[in-house]
Amino acid sequence: MFDLPPNYKVVREGKENGENWIFRIKTCLDREITAVAVTQPTVSRTGPTWSYVFENNGLNTVDVGSPGSFDSLKDGYKAAGITLTDIQTCFVSHGHADHDGTIPEFISESKSDLYAHESYGFLKSFKSWDIQDFTSTVLQREFTKIVETKVDKKDLNQKIDSSAEYYKKKQEINVTVGLKHRDVFGDIEVYSTPGHSPDQICLAIDDVVFTGDHVLPEITPHPTTKMNLKKSFINRISKEAVELEALYGLKVYLESLGYILHSNEGRTLLPAHRLYNRSTLNIIDTERARAIIDHHSLRLARLLRNVISNSSSLEDLTKGLFSKGELSGANMVAALSEVVAHLEFLEDVGDIVVTEDGIISVPPSAKPNYKSVIDHILKGSNGVIR
């Protein structure tokens, strides 16, 4: 058995990758948090989704797992002595399938209220690729062209087809409360922390923060590219919905990581993935947010070096950053969007220019402006979190 901190207790042992494990964690105020690993129905590099249950003006839970994992969730709760109907509030950290995929079944059985970021209720009605204008910038046009001409569609189409039922059921979800940054519910304080997902929230209570996918041990969450809504779509939605464009992009993600880093010093972070993995309990604090910022800073530096050494295309830069084995199907799409997110950041700060034919180069008089932006974030001057 690994060394267990004094405020952790094993309720049930499980697999090396974290599946089936259950822990009880005591906060600095002796509040008990039950951490239940919910097995994903398909193989995933992120491992199980961790669902956390605790008292705060009634019984609360954070995240409930992927479509098809409801039986695993119920089994874990039962083993931990938790009855679904005792749960009064269900928080969703963000609207990705491995976090809200069992919400329809969970709400139906528990009769709990659903709390999510204020944009969640709006975004759940749409797939991002249905509302995003991929013709609005050169980088996103290049991204679309490569996907259409170079990506093996079989893997991609299978993924889209398998998610159809999830999106259909998602339409039926009713959000009880839409959350804003710094909302307070009992002892919980809500943080809006966009960038990996526009509707990502973190929840702080006592000396812990539930981070969803915002900050994870071992792996670095995928940043979103910038969002430019289709004009035809903008004409049909409210002004408030248009403002969701400000919740996307690498800069927004780095800023919200900076917020967690500087506003929660000394707190333990409880992630939605990799709490336990490779037979190791991963206990992280806010310094993990710094490490993720550093990771993206190094990625920006590497991309910029590659552009300086030879003016490049999006495809060449992606191939230079990822191994050949990672560049097929859905993996290729993820790799391309990762590079686009970083190039958009470099373009916005003036470190690169992108011509209409997709060639990326460095201006003659340019200096690495991205460094000063990241230094600002690391010093705590990270702008406004929405």
Return d(Cα 241, Cα 243) in angstroms, integer: 5
- Indicate whether 298 pLDDT > 70: yes
Q: What integer is the mean pLDDT of 92-117?
A: 97
CATH number of the structural domain spanning residue 228:
3.60.15.10
The pLDDT value given to residue 105: 97
H or E stretch at 234: helix 231-234
Confidence bin at 384 (pLDDT 50/70/90): very low
Residue whose pair of structure tokens reads 């406004």 in the numeric block: 384
State the distance between the two ends of the chain, measured CA to CA, in whole angstroms.
43
Confidence at residue 213, expressed as pLDDT on a 0 to 100 scale: 98
- Residue-wise pLDDT tens digits, 198-243: 999 999 999 999 999 999 999 999 999 999 988 887 777 766 666 8
pLDDT at 248 over 50: yes
Tokens of 231: 């004009």
Q: What is the mean pLDDT of residues 107-112?
A: 97
pLDDT confidence of residue 233: 78
Structural domain harbouring 19: 8-126+174-286
Contact 49, 38 (CB under 8 A): yes
Q: Say yes or no to pLDDT of 125 above 90.
A: no
Pairwise CA distance, residues 128 & 5, whole Å: 41
Answer yes or no: is 385 within a domain.
no
CA atoms within 13 A on the CB side of 62: 28
Q: What angle do CA 249, 37, 202 make, to 5 degrees?
A: 35
Q: What is the pLDDT of residue 234?
A: 78
CB burial string 71-106: b at 16+ within 10 A, e below:
ebbbbbbeebebebeebbbbbbbbbbbbbbbbbbbb
Long-range CB contacts (< 8 A, 24+ apart) of 6-14?
A: 8/281, 11/79, 11/80, 12/76, 12/79, 12/80, 14/276
Whole-structure pTM value: 0.95
258: closest CA among 346, 381, 343? Answer: 381
Over residues 328-373, the pLDDT tens digits come to 778 889 999 999 999 999 999 999 999 999 999 999 877 899 999 9
pLDDT digits (tens, 9 = 90+) for 40-94: 998 888 999 999 999 999 999 999 999 999 999 999 999 999 999 999 999 999 9
Question: In this prediction, what percent of the chain has a pLDDT beyond 70?
Answer: 95
pLDDT score, position 235: 75
Contact call for residues 229 and 238 (beta carbons, < 8 A): no
Is there a domain that residue 256 lies in? yes
15 versus 239: the higher-pLDDT residue is 15
What pLDDT sits at residue 327?
82
> What would the two tokens of residue 308 be?
């300086």
Number of domains comprising the chain: 1
For residue 118, being part of any structural domain is answered with yes
Give the whole-angstrom CA distance, residue 363 versus residue 304. Answer: 11
Looking at residue 128, its pLDDT comes to 82
Q: What is the pLDDT of residue 328?
A: 78
Mean per-residue pLDDT, 94-120: 97
Cα–Cα distance list, 177 to 118, 142, 300 (Å) = 8, 39, 38
> Would you place residue 244 in the very low, low, confident or very high pLDDT band (cuts 50, 70, 90)?
confident
In a domain, 231, yes or no: yes
Q: Is residue 351 part of a domain?
A: no
Q: Is residue 159 pLDDT above 70, yes or no?
A: no
Lowest mean pLDDT among 92-106, 213-227, 307-321: 307-321
* Comparison of pLDDT for 172 and 62, the residue scoring more: 62
According to DSSP, the residues that pair with 90 across neighbouring strands are 61, 114
The verdict on residue 366 lying in a domain is: no
